[in-house]
Amino acid sequence: MSKKSFVSKNVENLKPSGIRRFFDVAAQMEDVISLGVGEPDFVTPWNFIEQSFHSLEQGYTSYTENAGMIELRKEISTYLHGNFQLDYDPAEQVIVTVGASQAIDLALRAVVEPGDEVIVVEPSFVAYVPTVSLAGGTPVTIQAEADNEFKLTAEAIEEAVTPRTKAIMLCNPNNPTGTFLTKEELEPIAEVIEKYDLVALSDEIYAELTYDASYTSFPSLAGMKERTILISGFSKAFAMTGWRLGYAAGPPDLIAAMVKIHQYTMMCAPTMAQHAALEAMKNGRPSVRDMFESYKQRRNFIVTSLNEMGLDCPNPGGAFYAFPSIKATGLSSAEFAEQLLHEEQVAVVPGDVFGESGEGYIRCSYATSLKQLDKAMDRMKRFVESRTPKR
């Protein structure tokens, strides 16, 4: 008798992450320069770490309130007000989560009914589609157009909306493209969302890392606060990925629903991480500023270098990713990434793992020291020259 699988159909049907497969190959190799890392190269600023030590010494080793320490929620509320002109009541409208990843999961589970459709804009962060499925929803992907610098348009949303559409996942600035949407570009999107009475799940984890224009938080747009769950966290701008600390802010009923799931599945975010985050909110500004400057310099460096070697790369307005076209080489994204890794030991992520419109592109993270970036660009240039006909 053949052994039957105990794994649920829902999980079995999830596609394995394309990033994972690539990681396994790269991890085995020597002398690899990785531009495949979606996290800061900076170690968490020392004062955050030290505050966490201190909290442990003081004996803060127990659970916190389900929604997170009220002091931290107050600081987050103040921060959102100061930086993005948003007003959220820390007692009822903010939840501290285990990374923005958990906030995404909670938000989807709080909102989605079986059979509801959730629009995901690709190329996108690899977790959106699977988390929609796990929440019992049906992911409906739309493709942001390369010709439009991968900017989402209101028309594209309108084409995808059906009577079953419940929500839309937004990510600005975007991982993997680095695309940044201005207030003027967001407004028509907000109008469509209101027109079809959708919930917006706005992943703004890279909001602090926008380089050329001021940032507009999605819920600050007219009519959006009542229907948006803002998702963010400490991983990127505060260099705290391993601490696993994020948060969400939104309408009281939705946040209460998220807290309900959270209290049964997680209890609370790690206490020592919450203490580090408290310090990050209170005294983190200078460190965030320094890291920002450094990312901006590296962005300029990598974008100029990529264009110089003949890979067309528009200037990404935010995050820490460049998303150049590799079409000039005649290779597919996967071929490019695999051959580059084997011949020059540079790891990049093939664009198609982020969605079909990412085919023909690669994601290069510039969260890597300038020295490494410089070396990587030299190696990549040699590779590109070997693949393109002499002009």
Residue 116 interacts with other proteins (CB under 8 A): yes or no: no
If binding is defined by CB under 8 A, does position 111 make contact with other proteins?
Answer: no
- x/- binding map, residues 275-294, to other proteins, per CB under 8 A? ------------------x-
352 binds other proteins (CB under 8 A): no
Closer by beta carbon to other proteins, 225 or else 298: 298
* Phi, psi of 177, deg, nearest 5: -85, -20
In the list 175, 210, 216, 329, the residue contacting other proteins (rule: CB under 8 A) is 175
| 126 touches other proteins (CB under 8 A) | yes
Q: Of the listed pieces 75-83, 125-133, 146-154, 325-333, which binds other proteins according to CB under 8 A?
A: 125-133
Q: Are 55 and 272 in contact (CB under 8 A)?
A: yes
28-57 positions binding other proteins, by CB under 8 A: 32, 34, 36-39, 41
- Whichever of 150 and 366 has its CB closer to other proteins, that residue is 366
Minimum distance from CB of 34 to other proteins (Å)? 5
Kindly state whether residue 253 participates in binding other proteins, applying the rule CB under 8 A.
Answer: no
Distance CA 102, CA 378 (A): 38
- Quick one: which of 92, 149, 338, 374 contacts other proteins (CB under 8 A)? 374
Pick between residue 39 and residue 92 the one whose CB is nearest to other proteins: 39
| Smaller CB separation from other proteins, 278 or 346 | 346
User: In degrees, to the nearest 5, what angle opens at C-alpha 214 toward C-alphas 353 and 277?
Assistant: 70
Q: Closest CB to other proteins among 80 and 384?
A: 384
Q: What is the largest CA-CA distance in the chain?
A: 67
Nearer of residues 263 and 300 to other proteins, judged by Cβ = 300
Could you tell me the smallest distance in angstroms from the CB atom of residue 381 to other proteins?
A: 13
Q: Is 271 within 8 Å of 64 (Cβ atoms)?
A: yes
Of 349, 362, 364, 384, which lies in the binding site for other proteins, with binding defined by CB under 8 A?
349
- By CB under 8 A, the count of residues binding other proteins is 28
Span of 87-95, 131-139, 272-280, 295-303 interacting with other proteins by CB under 8 A: 295-303
The answer to the question of residue 355 lying near other proteins (CB under 8 A) is: no
Q: How far is CA 156 from CA 122, 173, 197, in A?
A: 11, 18, 16
User: Contact 334/350 with Cβ under 8 angstroms?
Assistant: yes
Answer yes or no: are the C-beta atoms of 79 and 223 closer than 8 Å: no
Do the beta carbons of residue 278 and residue 72 sit within 8 Å? yes
The neighbouring-strand residues paired with 65 are none
Check binding of 215 to other proteins (CB under 8 A).
Answer: no
- Compute the CA torsion angle 179, 149, 182, 42 (nearest 10 deg): 20
297 near other proteins (CB under 8 A) = yes
Closest CA relative to residue 99, chosen from 127, 132, 136: 127
Q: What is the DSSP letter of 220?
A: G
Alpha helices in the chain, H assignment, sequence order = 9-12, 18-27, 46-57, 70-84, 99-111, 128-134, 154-160, 183-195, 252-265, 271-283, 285-308, 333-344, 370-387
Q: Does 366 bind other proteins (CB under 8 A)?
A: no
**Closest by alpha carbon to 82, among 219, 286, 318, 281?**
281
Residue 318 binds other proteins (CB under 8 A): no
Residue 199: what residue type?
A: V
Binding site for other proteins (CB under 8 A): 17, 19, 22-23, 26-27, 32, 34, 36-39, 41, 125-127, 175, 293, 297-298, 300-301, 304-305, 347, 349, 370, 374
